[in-house]
Amino acid sequence: MTFPKINVPLWNSLCERFVSLTHGALNTLEKTGAGIFASGLLPDTCTLTCMKECVYALPPHTIHACEHNTRHLTIPLYKEGIKIGYLVLSYPGEITVAHQTLTTTLAGLLQDVCIQDDKDALFAALKHSATFLPTILHANTISAVCKSAVNYLVHALSLANCMIITPTERIRYNNTSHLEPMITSVEQRAYAHVCQSKTPFLIQHPAKDVLTADIPNISQHPHSLAAIPLIHDRTFHGCLLSAYDTPLNTDLLCTLAQHLSLALHVARQYTTATDKAQTDPLTSLANRSALMEALTTALPDAKLNNQPTSLAIIDIDDFKLYNDANGHLQGDQLLCGLARLMQDTMQTKHVYRFGGEEFVLLFPRTSQHQAHDTCLKLLDTTRTQLGITISIGIATCQNSSLGARELISEADKALYRAKNTGKNKIVHALIVDRNLGVIDVDMAGSMGKYS
């Protein structure tokens, strides 16, 4: 069986968009290893011969390093169960899981979309895929993926409405407020059915469908509904609900739903990796990296609105002596206990492990006396519930004109003064403006504390 004729310029356009994501070279080969067309540039010393070698040397989906130290990933292409060719990603560095996922998806597009007789459907699917998939893959969060997808699908497919439901998100394109309770009931039932069946289905007439007929006011439902599960690598990521009035190209919608499933999978991996990178493994608190990211958002926002930002650094008094007397495992338990206590005090928000036995509390848009009162409560509850004492240094910038590192530095200086003047206490530094110097609140008296 020979390789089918396809729209080469359009296919190359799609490949070029994938190349921008993989930063490699993509080549489509016949089953003989002969090149058909290519996108992206191979490394200077690498040739088609290298790709032919990897096609025959190793099983499909195996990464093969050629003599030029270029890595090639080969994905087989099938038509009616018969192998007709290969898609090869060539990359000068390590081929990651993301590279493999993208290339496998592109190969699936070539099989499911290009290799068919309906040229209009081929053109539409490639055109939408070339725009839709790169757009949603560039979104880093599940929420951003859903919003981009909903916006695209409504306009590109002329849908009456569109909604994506995941375990953590519920994104709808528009809101028909006077029908909201009824439409929400329809969506919830459709989502529950998809969760159970994991198969797509259509509701042509919601008022007559057994799934929705008993919903109050269902006769007012204005649209037909398509519900498609979002599944990638056997993992259920949610459901795509599309409301429509005009005839719907369900094959195209299912193809785009596959792309959306991939994007949600990538976003979830990214979110998981980011959360892991910004979480302290012992206490499960956000770490220093997460604190710096939070400050880069909180400080400019507060500065723009001329509002204060307070930051407190907490240090366990004589923690080394505690470890020496009780052992490091007990010391770890103490750190976890203090972490939980701080989360309770702060209602789980803006608590960070700064390093060792030091923790940080961030108070965005919080006055100096509010921050001081919260830290005073923490000072007392730590002593009574954990049987230890802590020292706290607070820095409050009234107009949030300090940068992140400057604010941390002032809080650290205040902590240093607390540790060197008796421990088990709070020292509070007040900065009205970065150009006016630092005020020690305790030394300033009541005007400094509550002005």
Label residue 222 by pLDDT band (50, 70, 90).
Answer: confident
Q: How far apart are CA 16 and CA 249, in angstroms?
A: 26
Token pair 């459901």 is found at: 239
Q: What is the share, in percent, of the chain residues with pLDDT greater than 70?
A: 87
Q: What is the mean pLDDT of the chain?
A: 84
Query: How many helical (H) and strand (E) elements, i.e. helices and strands, does the chain have?
Result: 14, 16
Q: How far apart are CA 443 and CA 100, in angstroms?
A: 62
**Can you list the domains of the chain with their CATH numbers?**
8-111 (3.30.450.40), 122-277 (3.30.450.40), 288-450 (3.30.70.270)
- The pLDDT score that the predictor gives to residue 153 is 94
- The pLDDT score that the predictor gives to residue 53 is 73
Residue among 144, 75, 133 nearest 103 (CA) = 75
Please state the rounded mean pLDDT for residues 104-115.
Answer: 68
Please give the helix or strand (H or E) that residue 207 lies within, else none. Answer: none
| Structural Rg of the chain based on CA atoms | 29
Q: How far apart are CA 299 and CA 285, in angstroms?
A: 21
pLDDT digits (tens, 9 = 90+) for 28-37: 888 777 777 7
Q: How far apart are CA 213 and CA 224, in angstroms?
A: 13
Structure letter (DSSP) for residue 246: S
Which positions ≥6 away from 446 have C-beta within 8 Å? none
- The pLDDT score that the predictor gives to residue 60 is 67
Residue among 112, 108, 70 nearest 92 (CA) = 70
Please state the rounded mean pLDDT for residues 319-336.
Answer: 93
Q: How far apart are CA 224 and CA 207, in angstroms?
A: 10
Q: How far apart are CA 147 and CA 213, in angstroms?
A: 30
Label residue 154 by pLDDT band (50, 70, 90).
Answer: very high
Within a 10 A sphere around the Cβ of 12, how many other Cβ atoms? 17
Q: Is the distance from CB of 227 to CB of 254 less than 8 angstroms?
A: no
Label residue 420 by pLDDT band (50, 70, 90).
Answer: very high
Which pairing describes strands 63-65 and 71-79: parallel, antiparallel, or unpaired?
Answer: antiparallel
Torsions phi, psi for 349 (to 5 deg): -100, 145
Please give the helix or strand (H or E) that residue 346 lies within, else none. Answer: helix 328-346
Label residue 115 by pLDDT band (50, 70, 90).
Answer: low
Q: What is the share, in percent, of the chain residues with pLDDT greater than 90?
A: 39
Q: Does the structure show a pLDDT above 70 at 5?
A: no
Residue among 170, 78, 83 nearest 115 (CA) = 78
Q: How far apart are CA 59 and CA 55, in angstroms?
A: 8
- Going from the C-alpha of 155 to that of each of 7, 24, 72, 321, the distances in angstroms are 25, 32, 38, 65
Torsions phi, psi for 229 (to 5 deg): -70, 145
Residue among 20, 59, 23, 19 nearest 37 (CA) = 19
Which pairing describes strands 63-65 and 25-30: parallel, antiparallel, or unpaired?
Answer: unpaired
Q: Does the structure show a pLDDT above 60 at 188?
A: yes
Residue type, 32: T
- Structure-block tokens of residue 379: 């000072």
Strands (E) across 199-292 are located at 201-203, 224-232, 235-244
Q: Which residue has the higher pLDDT, 121 or 283?
A: 283
Three-state secondary structure readout of 266-278: HHHHHHHHHHHHC
Q: Is the distance from CB of 243 to CB of 113 less than 8 angstroms?
A: no
Which positions ≥6 away from 170 have C-beta within 8 Å? 163, 164
pLDDT digits (tens, 9 = 90+) for 329-384: 999 999 999 999 999 988 867 999 998 999 999 999 888 889 999 999 999 999 99
- The pLDDT score that the predictor gives to residue 409 is 94
Q: Does the structure show a pLDDT above 80 at 114?
A: no
- The pLDDT score that the predictor gives to residue 446 is 42
Structure letter (DSSP) for residue 111: I
3-state secondary structure of 133: helix
3-state secondary structure of 84: strand
Q: How far apart are CA 364 and CA 278, in angstroms?
A: 19
